[in-house]
Amino acid sequence: MAQVYTRDMPVDIDATVMGNRRLSADYNVLAIDAPEIASRARPGQFVMMKTSRGLDPLLRRPFSIFEILRDDGGAPRGVSLLNKRVGGGTSLLYQAESGARLACLGPLGRPFEPVDPPAEAWMVAGGVGLAPFLTLAEALHARATPTMLFYGARHAGELYCVDRFETLGVRVVLATEDGSRGAHGRVTAPLESALSRRPLGEPLKLYVCGPTAMMRACAALAASHGRACDVSLEQVMGCGLGGCYSCVVLARDDSGRPHHTRTCIDGPVFEASRIVWDAVDAH
Amino acid sequence: MDLSLNIGSLRLKNPLIAASGCFGYGVEYADIVDLSTLGGVAVKGLFLSEREGHPPPRIVETPSGMLNAIGLQGIGVHRFIREKLPELRERRAVVIVNICGTTLDEYVEVARILSDAAGVAALELNISCPNIKEGGITFGCSLTGTHAVVSAVRKVTRLPVIPKLTPNVTDVASFARAAEEAGADAVSLVNTFLAMAIDVRTRRPRLSNIVGGLSGPAIRPIAVRMVYECRNTVKLPIIGMGGIATVDDVLEFMIAGANAVQVGTANFVDPFIWSRLLDGLRRYMRDEKIARLQDLVGTVDTTAREQAWISS
C-alpha cells in the first residue's frame, strides 16, 4: 500500500546561481539561491529547471535536489543539483556562471520515506543516480539509522562526494566497471553478497536510483531476498505537476493492475515491486 | 474594463482558457492557480471508459516546440464526474470538458452523460487528436464527418458545443463552416500538427507512437493564419490556440479573429502564466484605451498592405 503523501505547494523562483563546481568534463554541482524551496524540500524530491531564458530549450528539465545549502546560522538558503552534461539543457547548466538567473520550480514529487532504527537503510546509486541520496543520508543520519551506500560508476573519476557520505557515518561500498576503484564490475554484485549475508530477522530497506538496468536488477534482488525496495525513477517530463501525462511509467495499483502512472506526482519514488520493469525504457 | 465574452449561453469572464491535454483535469493545478480567475478550464479528453494511452516515450522537445503522443490516456467520463468534477465545482472553475469518441455513438453518449452532470459549462469535441487510430481525427478530417458529429451531439445537449479543429487539412475554414452549419456554438483551433522526430544514431522514432502532434511557439504563425481564415468564413466565436506564450501572442490571435484563446505548452514551462497574461491584457487595454476587449477581435488591418501591393 503506497503511503499517502500530501504535497507542499511548489514555488517558482527566479533563482540566482550561487556557485558552479565542475567535478569533471561532464559533471558539475550547481548551487542556486532558493530559500523557499530549500526550507520545504524533503529527501528525494526534485525541481523543474528552466535552463535558458528563451525558447531553446523550451521545456524545463527535472533535477533531484542534491544538497540543501545552509547559511552560517544553519537556515536553509538554497539547493544544489548534481548535473551530468548529456544534451542542450544540461550543457547550459554545466556552463552556468555565478550570478546567472534560472527559473526553479519546486519542491516536487513524492519523497523517500526514511526508515528508523533498528532497520538499516541501504542506498544503491549508479552514476548520476547518486543525486537524491545525500539528502536521504542526512535524514537517516538525523534518525540514527545505520546506513550504507553502494555506489557504482564507469571509472574512479566518476565517483563523487564519497567523503560527504562518510562524514554522515554512511558505510560506503564502491564499484567501477573498469575496476579502477572499489569492486571490479557492477555495483549489484557487492549488493547481492551483502544481501545474502544479512540474516532475514534484521530489517533492512533498499533505496535505489540509477540506470534502468541497474534498478531492474536491484528490484529483482530485493524481491528474491524479501526486502522492501524503493526506486527513484527518471523519466522525460513536460511539466512536473501532473498536467501533461508525459512521464508515465507502467506501475501496478493496489489491486495489482498495471496503469500508466505519472512519475512527477505519483513518483519519482515508487515501491520497486509496483513497477512493470519490462515496460520501462532502458536509458 | 470588460474582458468578458459569450460562447452560446455561456459567459466567460476573460478570454484565457487552459488548453485540453495541457492542464490535466484542472485539479492538478488547483493549489497553485486560482481556477476561478481563468476564463475556462478545458480538461483532458474523455472517452466513455478509461484508456491507458501510449507507452513512453510520449514527448520530445523540438525547436521552439514539443512533439507529443500521449494517446489520450484518461479516466473516462464516469470517474471524471465522480472524482474530479466536485473539486472543480468547489474551486468555481468554468469547466469545458473535451470529449472523445471512437464512434459517433460514443461522442453522443459521453455528451449525454456530461449534460446531466452539474458543473459542466461546455463541451469541446475532440475531432482532431492526431495520436489515436480510430475515430477522432477521422471525423475531423472529413467535412461530412465533422458535420455528423456536431449535429449528433447538438441534438442531445443544451451545453455550448465547441468542435476542436485539426490543422491537418488543406482548408480549415471549410471545417469551421461545416461546424457552424451543424449547430456548433463556437470552434476551437488549432489542435497539434502531425509531425515526427527521429534519433539519427539509433534510427528509431523518438516517440513510441512513431508520429505525434507538434505544439508550442513553433506552430504559432500557422495557427494565427488559420484563425484569420476562419474569421473571414464564419460568424461563430473562435477560440484560438497554438504556441501562445506571451500577452502579445494572445493579442495577436484576438486581432486575427479569436474571441478567446487557449494556452497549452506554455503552461508546462510556466504554470503561473495566467496572472501574467491577465495583467498584460489589462495593461494593453489601458494603454490602447480599449474598454471592451471583444472590440479588438478581428481588427487586423490588411487594407494598407493590399494597396501597397497593388500600387507597386
With a cut of 50, list the residues of chain B below it in pLDDT.
none
Does A226 fall in a domain? Answer: yes
Residue A216's alpha-carbon distances to A186, A207, A212, A262, A282, in angstroms, are 13, 12, 6, 19, 10
Nearest CB to A248; choose among B58, B60, B271: B58
Do the Cβ atoms of B269 and A58 come within 8 Å? yes
- Residue A110 CA, chain-centre distance (Å), reads 11
The interface pTM score, or ipTM, of the predicted complex is: 0.92
Structure confidence at residue A3 (pLDDT): 43
Nearest CB to B272; choose among A12, A245, A259: A12
Query: CB distance from B149 to chain A under 8 Å?
Result: no
Among residues A139, A83, A93, A96, the alpha carbon closest in space to that of A116 is found at A139
Q: What whole-number distance in Å separates Cα of residue B306 and Cα of residue A281?
A: 54
The model's pLDDT over A30-74, given as tens digits with 9 standing for 90+, comes to 999 999 999 999 999 999 999 888 888 999 999 999 999 999 999
Do the Cβ atoms of B59 and A246 come within 8 Å? yes
How far B26 CA sits from the closest chain A CA (Å)?
8
Amino acid at the residue A37: I
Residue ranges in A128-177 assigned as alpha helix (H): 133-142, 162-167
Does B206 fall in a domain? Answer: no
Count other C-beta atoms under 10 Å from residue A121's C-beta: 26
CATH code: domain of residue B181: 3.20.20.70
CATH code: domain of residue A47: 2.40.30.10
- Whether A174 and A148 share a structural domain: yes
Do the Cβ atoms of A239 and B267 come within 8 Å? yes
SS3 label, residue A94: helix
SS3 label, residue A23: coil
The cell for A119 is 532497520
Please tell me what DSSP assigns to residue A60.
-
Cβ-based neighbours of B303, under 8 Å, separated by 6 or more: none
Does B201 fall in a domain? Answer: no
Cβ-based neighbours of A212, under 8 Å, separated by 6 or more: A277, A280, A281, A282, A283
Strand B40-46 vs strand B95-99: parallel, antiparallel, or unpaired? parallel
Q: How many CB pairs under 8 A join A and B?
A: 94
How far B253 CA sits from the closest chain A CA (Å)?
20
The cell for B269 is 514551462
Q: What whole-number distance in Å separates Cα of residue B69 and Cα of residue B205?
A: 12
Structure confidence at residue A96 (pLDDT): 94
Residue A239's closest chain B neighbor by CA? B268
Per the DSSP assignment, residues forming a β-bridge with B198 are: B205
Query: CB distance from B57 to chain A under 8 Å?
Result: yes
Q: Whose grid coordinates read 478581428?
A: B298
Does B129 qualify as catalytic in the annotation? yes
**Rg (chain A; Cα; Å):** 18
- Whether A135 and A43 share a structural domain: no
The model's pLDDT over A86-122, given as tens digits with 9 standing for 90+, comes to 988 999 999 999 999 999 999 999 999 999 999 999 9
Nearest CB to B64; choose among A58, A235, A244: A58
Cβ(B27)–Cβ(B79) below 8 Å: no
Structure confidence at residue A4 (pLDDT): 45
Overall domain count for chain B: 1
| Contacts with B35 from chain A: Cβ below 8 Å | none
The cell for A46 is 526534485
Do the Cβ atoms of A9 and B55 come within 8 Å? no
Does B275 fall in a domain? Answer: yes
Q: Which of B41, B52, B58 to mutate to test the interface with A (most CBs of A within 10 A)?
A: B58
Structure confidence at residue A188 (pLDDT): 96
Does A239 fall in a domain? Answer: no
- Whether A133 and A103 share a structural domain: no
Strand B10-12 vs strand A269-271: parallel, antiparallel, or unpaired? unpaired
- Whether A125 and A92 share a structural domain: no
Amino acid at the residue B254: M
How far A136 CA sits from the closest chain B CA (Å)?
27
Q: Which of A58, A86, A250 to mutate to test the interface with B (most CBs of B within 10 A)?
A: A58
Does B204 fall in a domain? Answer: no
Per the DSSP assignment, residues forming a β-bridge with B125 are: B99, B163
Does A42 fall in a domain? Answer: yes
Which 3-state string (H, E, C) describes chain B?
CECCEEECCEEECCCEEECCCCCCCCHHHCCCCCHHHCCEEEEEEECCCCECCCCCCCEEEECCEEEECCCCCECHHHHHHHHHHHHHHHCCCCEEEEECCCCHHHHHHHHHHHHCCCCCCEEEEECCCCCCCCCCHHHHCCHHHHHHHHHHHHHHCCCCEEEECCCCCCCHHHHHHHHHHCCCCCEEECCCEEEECEECCCCEECCCCCEEEEECHHHHHHHHHHHHHHHCCCCCCEEECCCCCCHHHHHHHHHHCCCEEEECHHHHHCCCHHHHHHHHHHHHHHHCCCCEHHHHCCCCCCHHHHHHHHHC
Cβ(B99)–Cβ(B46) below 8 Å: yes
Does B209 fall in a domain? Answer: no
Amino acid at the residue A175: A
- Whether A94 and A128 share a structural domain: no
Phi, psi for A198 (deg, rounded to 5): -85, 125
Contacting B with CB below 8 Å, chain A residues are 7, 9-10, 12, 50, 55-60, 103, 105, 235-236, 238-239, 241-250, 259-260, 265, 279, 281
Structure confidence at residue B224 (pLDDT): 98
- Whether A78 and A144 share a structural domain: no
- Residue B99 CA, chain-centre distance (Å), reads 12
- Whether A35 and A70 share a structural domain: yes
Structure confidence at residue A2 (pLDDT): 41
Query: CB distance from B66 to chain A under 8 Å?
Result: yes
Largest CA distance in chain B: 64
CATH code: domain of residue A138: 3.40.50.80
- Whether A181 and A214 share a structural domain: yes
Does A28 fall in a domain? Answer: yes
How far A133 CA sits from the closest chain B CA (Å)?
26
Does B41 fall in a domain? Answer: yes
- Whether A54 and A137 share a structural domain: no
Does A114 fall in a domain? Answer: no
Nearest CB to A242; choose among B28, B61, B64: B28
Query: CB distance from B221 to chain A under 8 Å?
Result: no
Considering chain A, what is the average pLDDT of its residues? 94
The cell for B193 is 500538427
Structure confidence at residue B186 (pLDDT): 98
Amino acid at the residue B6: N
Q: Whose grid coordinates read 533563482?
A: A15
The cell for A76 is 536553509
Q: Which of B22, B28, B73 to mutate to test the interface with A (most CBs of A within 10 A)?
A: B28
Do the Cβ atoms of B64 and A238 come within 8 Å? no
Do the Cβ atoms of B31 and A9 come within 8 Å? yes
Does A252 fall in a domain? Answer: no
Q: What whole-number distance in Å separates Cα of residue A10 and Cα of residue B61?
A: 24
Q: Which helix (H) or strand (E) holds A73?
A: none
Nearest CB to A242; choose among B24, B60, B61: B24
Do the Cβ atoms of B68 and A59 come within 8 Å? no
Does A81 fall in a domain? Answer: yes
- Domain that includes residue B144, residue range: 5-55+70-194+214-311
Do the Cβ atoms of A249 and B63 come within 8 Å? no
Query: CB distance from B53 to chain A under 8 Å?
Result: yes
Indicate the burial class of B166 (C-beta count within 10 angstroms; 0-12, 13-18, 19 or more).
buried
- Whether A157 and A274 share a structural domain: yes
Q: What whole-number distance in Å separates Cα of residue A229 and Cα of residue A217?
A: 12
Amino acid at the residue B80: F
Q: Which of B61, B72, B220 to mutate to test the interface with A (most CBs of A within 10 A)?
A: B61
- Domain that includes residue A82, residue range: 11-108
- Whether A90 and A189 share a structural domain: no
Overall domain count for chain A: 2
| Contacts with A260 from chain B: Cβ below 8 Å | 52-53, 55, 73
Q: Which of A108, A141, A157 is the last residue of a domain?
A: A108
Do the Cβ atoms of B268 and A239 come within 8 Å? yes
SS3 label, residue A123: strand
Per the DSSP assignment, residues forming a β-bridge with B123 are: B97, B161
Query: CB distance from B269 to chain A under 8 Å?
Result: yes
Does B178 fall in a domain? Answer: yes
Does A263 fall in a domain? Answer: no
Cβ-based neighbours of B302, under 8 Å, separated by 6 or more: none
Q: Which of A108, A141, A159 is the last residue of a domain?
A: A108
- Whether A59 and A152 share a structural domain: no
The cell for A90 is 544540461
Instruction: Reply yes or no on whether the pLDDT at A5 is more than 60.
Output: no
Do the Cβ atoms of A105 and B271 come within 8 Å? yes
Structure confidence at residue A1 (pLDDT): 35
